[in-house]
């Protein structure tokens, strides 16, 4: 068996420029979190925590990009470009379809708390974003 050493490369776009997904792994499958990078197939990692999965994902990103360069493959540019999204482009309006049962639960909760449905959903989104930000620090 022949082993080939692949030189580590500096990608044209940094790790942070690419979107990634961190999703829980079912406990029956070992638990932890799975990291994937949709723009570059093959970049996958896992970890016991979200932060470990992201750290391992960074290593997988460099390894995959280095291997692709070694094979003469083009590295895809990030599909999402933050520069394309200016504050003027964000209307602040989101339309989401929900299962009827979830809509009913949210409506009942909003009524119980004496707030509008929009206020309740916004509070839940803000809470979720806050938790994710805290988990990453």
Residue 76: count other Cβ atoms within 10 Å of its Cβ: 13
Looking at the fold, whether 104 and 44 belong to one and the same domain comes out as no
pLDDT at residue 67, rounded to an integer: 94
Q: Are residues 3 and 52 in the same domain?
A: yes
How far apart CA 81 and CA 18 sit, in angstroms, is 9
Q: Which CATH number covers residue 95? A: 1.10.1220
pLDDT at 83: 66
Residues 82 and 20 in one domain: yes
Structural domains in the chain (count): 2
- Please tell me whether residues 75 and 38 are part of one structural domain: yes
CA atoms of 84 and 106, how far apart (whole Å): 33
Same domain, 15 and 67: yes
pLDDT band at residue 136, thresholds of 50, 70 and 90?
low
Average pLDDT estimate for 19-40? 92
pLDDT tens per residue across span 51-108: 999 999 999 999 999 999 999 999 999 987 666 666 666 777 888 888 999 999 999 9
Predicted pLDDT at 8: 92
Please tell me whether residues 74 and 99 are part of one structural domain. no
Identify whether residues 59 and 126 lie together within a single domain.
Answer: no
pLDDT (0 to 100) of residue 79 = 85
Statement to judge: residues 35 and 50 lie in one domain:
yes
User: Could you list the residue range(s) of the whole structural domain that residue 37 is in?
Assistant: 1-86
Which CATH number does the domain housing residue 81 bear?
Answer: 3.30.160.250
CA 20 – CA 111 distance, rounded (Å): 36
Give the global pTM.
Answer: 0.60
């Amino acid at each position: 068996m022949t082993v080939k050493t692949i030189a580590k490369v500096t990608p044209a776009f940094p790790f942070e420029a690419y979107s990634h997904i961190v999703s829980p792994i079912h406990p029956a499958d070992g638990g932890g979190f799975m990291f994937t990078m949709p723009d570059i197939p093959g970049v996958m990692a896992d970890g016991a925590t979200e932060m470990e999965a992201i750290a391992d994902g960074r290593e997988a990103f460099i390894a995959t990009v280095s291997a692709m360069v070694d094979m003469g493959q083009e590295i895809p540019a990030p599909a999402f470009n933050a520069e394309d999204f200016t504050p003027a482009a964000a209307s602040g309006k989101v339309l989401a379809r929900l299962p009827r049962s979830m809509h009913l639960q949210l409506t009942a909760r909003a009524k119980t708390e004496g707030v509008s449905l929009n206020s309740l959903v916004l509070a839940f989104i803000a809470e979720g974003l806050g938790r994710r930000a805290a988990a990453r620090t």
